[in-house]
Chain A
Amino acid sequence: MGGFPDTDGPSEPEPPRQVSLALALFVAEVDTKSPRVELVAPEDRLVPPPPLRDTSDSDCACT
């Protein structure tokens, strides 16, 4: 028999929701996603990027 699934029956427990520590300055009414973080073992010799200068200077004007 078709129809809607039985919503009263036992269901898979949802995994505990991780509370983000980040706060958006522009807060949407919908969830925004954080990047997935992977830690790589030392033997894989992942090299960190060189110290970066602050290259965030930009401007939305044209002088």
Chain B
Amino acid sequence: MLRVLSTPALFSLELTPLCNSRCPGCFNVFVADKRTRSGPLMQRPPLSFEQWRTILDRLVPHAHRFKLTGGEPTLHPEFEAIVGHIRGLGTSLTVFTNGRWTNPESVLDALARTPNLTGLLISLHGAYAASHEVFSGVPGSFDETVANVRRAVAAGISVTLSTVLHRANLGELAAVVALAESLGTDHVVFNRYLGPSVPGIAITDVQLMQATHTVDTMREQGQPVTFGVCIPQCFTPSSSTGCLAGVAFCAVDPWGNLRPCNHSPLTAGNLLSGTLEKAWHSPEMERFRQAIPKACHTCTAFSTCHGGCRALAMELNLPGDPLMVGPLREFGPPPPVQMGRNWRPLRRFEMRQEPFGLVLMRGNTFFAVRPEATPILDCLDGTHTLGELEHECAPAALSLIGELFRRNMIEMIA
């Protein structure tokens, strides 16, 4: 069973289908011919600023965060105006870009003046030009992206690197993290490659398993690394968590069509000509939600893993994510949480009321609780110690606070 939000809260807005990189493994759904990167949709003009403004104004009551992507979002001719409008709306914003900007000064000026910009997610697929450019397909793109990462960091913008695990960078994952630190970025998100197998890019399952363990070892050592794309827990246990597509997250394509995620070509209604609610609860979205294999519902990792990548399963016409092996009988429990009795928890999440309870949101992290948790959440204001809360509340309260602490949704004051 899924507890689907009444309307989505994370919106990935694909401003344009165009991109100035030539990634041979591109999973851009707008490209009909991967080799020439062409197709009818690539010729179709994206929505104008005025049209995006109409959509943004309709989405803002529901939005916890907007994410601008594409294609390459900065190639939208009115990118700065769209950022400016979101600045005025005040909704949390992130921008996912390849860091290759036609006019870096204009892009950075618009972003640096946006206080609600949480950060940039910039694609860098290797620690060196050779490995990065095998993936990006553009000579010189490594230097260009690195230079713009430096500029963004210098402008005071938080930058995260997004690195797809591929054949040419498997031996340099630690070097990617070292480069990220030397550039002053926050952390590195490692992504499993999604899409049909491409020679020279795709890695074997054994290589992915080894890379997953390497990333988690770095994470355990305190390195700033995470996973992006979900890696099914039955493939290999990892700190990867599942995606929220179709439950809390959706994409909006360059023409205003709602889609369950960026990797799925499925469209579920247009946001200029119809309502968000109608599209979100459409038969197409329900079909996407039903794409989770039945066996996943009997898996002890389901609430963490979320059933793998549904878009890839549908794209490859498979019953489930191709990495899946089968339901796990024993998963967890999570590692114990240690907290000081004198610590005072302070909430760092937004809340949203849903028919089934409350949804707590911080960034891309969503956590649902029963309505009975409300009095406990009210106490997370930085004035009550955990010792006091343990004494005053039911034992379940401490367990809930431990979960929130583990998920980085509360801060602790000593």
Provide the B383-414 mask, 1 if CB < 8 A to any CB of A, else 0.
Answer: 00011001000011111111100101001111
A4 to chain B, nearest CB (A): 24
| A34 and B334 within 8 A (CB) | yes
Per CB-CB distance, the 7 closest pairs between chain A and chain B, nearest first, are A56-B363, A33-B333, A48-B412, A37-B402, A24-B303, A28-B302, A60-B229
- The contact of A27 among B1, B70, B343, by CB within 8 Å, is B1
| A61 and B386 within 8 A (CB) | no
- The contact of B228 among A24, A36, A41, A59, by CB within 8 Å, is A59
**Known contacts A39-B339, A58-B189; A21 and B332 CB within 8 A of each other:** no
| Interface presence of A63 (CB below 8 A) | yes
Q: Is the interface of A mostly helix, strand, loop or mixed?
A: loop
Closest to B245 in A: A60
Closest to A36 in B: B336
| Interface presence of A55 (CB below 8 A) | yes
A36 to B302, CA, bound (A): 20
Where the two chains meet, the residues of B that have a C-beta atom closer than 8 Å to any C-beta of A are 1-4, 12, 19, 21, 23, 25-27, 67, 69-73, 94, 96-98, 118-119, 121, 123, 125, 135, 158, 160, 162, 164, 186-187, 189, 191, 193-194, 224, 226-230, 242-244, 247-248, 261-263, 297-300, 302-307, 309, 331-343, 348, 356-357, 362-370, 372-373, 376, 386-387, 390, 395-403, 406, 408, 411-414
**Known contacts A39-B339, A63-B97; A23 and B2 CB within 8 A of each other:** no
Closest to B406 in A: A35
| B337 and A59 within 8 A (CB) | no
Closest to A57 in B: B94
A29 to B2, CA, bound (A): 11
| A48 and B376 within 8 A (CB) | no
- The contact of B400 among A21, A47, A59, by CB within 8 Å, is A21
| A40 and B368 within 8 A (CB) | no
A55 to B340, CA, bound (A): 24
- Write 19 A-B pairs (CB below 8 A) sorted by A numbering: A20-B396, A21-B399, A25-B2, A26-B302, A30-B299, A32-B332, A35-B334, A35-B399, A37-B336, A38-B337, A39-B339, A39-B341, A48-B411, A48-B412, A48-B413, A52-B408, A58-B227, A60-B261, A61-B69
| A56 and B365 within 8 A (CB) | yes
A35 to chain B, nearest CB (A): 4
**Known contacts A53-B186, A60-B243; A24 and B3 CB within 8 A of each other:** yes
A42 to chain B, nearest CB (A): 4
- The contact of A40 among B135, B338, B363, B395, by CB within 8 Å, is B338
| A38 and B164 within 8 A (CB) | no
Q: Which residues of B contact A39 (CB under 8 A)?
A: 339-341, 386-387, 390, 398
| Interface presence of A1 (CB below 8 A) | no
- The contact of B366 among A25, A36, A48, A63, by CB within 8 Å, is A25
